[in-house]
Amino acid sequence: MHDYVQKAMQTCAPGDQFLHCVLGLTSEMAEVHYATTEAGQREELGDLMWYVAIGADYVGFTLHELIDATTEDPRNGLFMIGQLANLMKRQIFYGKAPDLREVAELLSAIARGIREDCVEIGHAFDEILAENIAKLTRRYPEKFTQDLAVNR
């Protein structure tokens, strides 16, 4: 899905994209872990990818550019969420802006890890992305609004 980031950003709240990405990935990681049905797994994997898309937009990449941003990393992709949180912590508490290339590399590993998880449990990655956009389009038919987010 070549336009995934663009479509995802239509449903993104305004504000600090990096913070939204990091906090969203952190909270969704637990939801993926505790999903008990196939439909739940698919939805949560899509939600994780939505937060990756926010990060991709933050660093100026499409999803495919992001996935191809680095060579394969032997560490678990979801582990990289903690590394992103560390960059966010350093920005908030120490005033150190994150290096966008490092953010892109971490997001790349996360996206590849999610894609591999999809394949491992028998879900087509592109279908997960399409289902996620369809869900968000139903929720926010034109674009994100605070009212639709709060009253859903």
Instruction: Please report, as a single letter, which amino acid is at residue 45.
Output: L
Count of the separate structural domains present in the chain: 1
d(CA 11, CA 14): 9
Q: Which amino acid is at 118?
A: C
Q: What is the pTM of this model?
A: 0.89
Give the list of residues 6+ apart from residue 117 with CB closer than 8 angstroms, or none. 45, 77
Range of the domain at 98: 4-150
Query: Mean pLDDT, to the nearest integer, of 48-59?
Result: 96
User: 67-103 pLDDT, tens per residue?
Assistant: 887 666 555 666 889 999 999 999 999 999 999 999 9
